[in-house]
């Protein structure tokens, strides 16, 4: 019978056997899968696991600093690489959704490759690939781990992708990953985090990306997500976030007319992200959240709530 404890025991033994005394590099994303993979490898090989956590400048507010601290607190051998400026510079002027994804994927690979070159004698690349990713990469629709896969053939293979691959979670599902994480003592809050796309806020800022738009959306998103937690709604929602729309609308403040940005809030229920329904959040919550956003985030004067299901709408707007 499958139990998290027996999975940990056999996987740690298998990792020791496979990796021996060699070094392994792993990219942490702040998400559940890469974290659980890292903790398993850390149990098996300790300091020979080199984790890299890249700030692409498109993470949630304060996430890079707080998640990095959390990783360090878990005893992981992790290096935080703040590449926010590099990503923003490369993204400047790009407003096509797939164009933005390509740039973010390419720059991530460049940064990761630079970092893995600083390590000597690395033999393995570990990834937090889970079973649905394995299936999805076969059907090639571009799930979380597709960022790396779909950029394979752009200008030759980066060196780190020539490494031997270790994927300790490739045979298990998300709920099992969470149970494994729990049995290894990983913080429940971290394990319960909503999924977050690899390109991050980059695909929630419709149109081109600027530092100012990122800052604005980070503030909006933080108010929404913290509100969901405060109201005890966070765990009833599969995924939530805010979109910064490329439209200005007229508003009024005092005697002045304003002409400022509109944001859309989205919260969905889902099992696997393939289909989704919008969540019937309480009006009082939406009212409080909208007021907080408009009163606190400079440049935003209108908030709307997305009531579209997938299909035919998607979860993200880009
Ligand atoms: P859609 O918008 O296609 O999203 O309904 C389904 C799920 O996939 C996530 N998503 C992505 N994840 N890279 C990722 O790693 C991407 O380019 C990407 N696009 C969408 C989305 O957040 C949702 O969980």
Residue 33 in marked binding region: yes
pLDDT of res. 152: 40
pLDDT of res. 148: 47
For ligand 1, is residue 198 a contact (CB within 6 Å)?
yes
Domain positions in the chain are: 4-191, 204-305
Q: Which helix (H) or strand (E) holds 49?
A: strand 49-55
Gap from CA of 85 to ligand 1 centroid (Å): 24
Please identify, in words, the CATH class of the domain defined by 4-191: alpha beta
For ligand 1, is residue 241 a contact (CB within 6 Å)?
no
Q: Which of 29, 33, 204, 273 to mutate to test the pocket of ligand 1 (most atoms within 8 A of CB)?
A: 273
Same fold, 4-191 and 204-305: no
Contact 237, 276 (CB under 8 A): no
Gap from CA of 311 to ligand 1 centroid (Å): 14
Q: Which helix (H) or strand (E) holds 207?
A: none
Q: What residues contact 318, with CB distance under 8 A and at least 6 apart?
A: 97, 100, 203, 204, 206
Q: Write down the pTM of the prediction.
A: 0.92
pLDDT (tens, 9 = 90+) of the chain, 318 residues, equals: 899 999 999 999 999 999 999 999 999 999 999 999 999 999 999 999 999 999 999 999 999 999 999 999 999 999 999 999 999 999 999 999 999 999 999 999 999 999 999 999 999 999 999 998 888 776 544 444 444 444 444 456 788 888 999 999 999 999 999 999 999 999 999 999 999 999 999 999 999 999 999 999 999 999 999 999 999 999 999 999 999 999 999 999 899 999 999 999 999 999 989 999 999 999 999 999 999 999 999 999 999 999 999 999 999 999
The residue contributing the CA closest to ligand 1 atom 18 is 197
CATH code for the part of the protein at 204-305 = 3.30.300.10
For ligand 1, is residue 239 a contact (CB within 6 Å)?
yes
pLDDT of res. 283: 98
Query: Strands 300-305 and 277-278: what pairing?
Result: unpaired
Asked if the interface predicted TM-score (ipTM) of this complex is over 0.90, the answer is: yes
pLDDT of res. 144: 43
């Amino acid at each position: 019978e499958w139990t998290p404890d027996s999975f940990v025991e056999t996987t740690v033994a298998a990792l020791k056997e496979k990796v021996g005394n060699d070094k392994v590099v792993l990219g942490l994303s702040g998400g559940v899968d890469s974290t659980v993979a890292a903790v398993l490898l850390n149990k098996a090989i300790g300091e020979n696991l080199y984790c890299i956590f890249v700030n692409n400048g498109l993470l949630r507010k304060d996430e890079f600093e707080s998640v990095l601290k959390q990783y360090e607190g878990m005893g992981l051998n992790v290096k935080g690489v703040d590449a926010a400026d590099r990503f923003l510079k490369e993204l400047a002027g790009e407003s096509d959704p797939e164009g933005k994804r390509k740039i973010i994927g390419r720059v991530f690979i460049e940064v990761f490759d630079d970092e893995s070159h600083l390590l000597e004698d690395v033999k393995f690349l570990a990834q937090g690939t889970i079973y649905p990713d394995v299936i999805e990469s076969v059907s090639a629709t571009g799930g979380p781990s597709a960022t790396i896969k779909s950029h394979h053939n752009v200008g030759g293979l980066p060196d780190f992708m020539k490494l031997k691959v270790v994927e300790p979670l490739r045979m298990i599902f998300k709920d099992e990953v969470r149970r494994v994480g729990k049995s290894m003592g990983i913080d429940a809050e971290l394990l319960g985090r909503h999924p977050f796309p690899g390109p991050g806020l980059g695909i929630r800022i419709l149109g081109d990306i600027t530092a100012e738009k990122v800052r604005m959306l980070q503030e909006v998103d933080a108010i929404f997500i913290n509100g969901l937690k405060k109201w005890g709604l966070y765990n009833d929602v599969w995924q939530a976030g805010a979109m910064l729309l490329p439209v200005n609308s007229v508003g009024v403040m005092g005697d002045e007319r304003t002409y400022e940005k509109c944001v859309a809030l989205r919260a969905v229920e889902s099992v696997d992200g393939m289909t989704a329904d919008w969540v019937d959040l309480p009006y009082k919550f939406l009212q409080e959240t909208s007021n907080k956003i408009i009163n606190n985030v400079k440049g935003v004067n209108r908030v709307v709530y997305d009531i579209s299901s997938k299909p035919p709408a998607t979860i993200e707007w880009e």
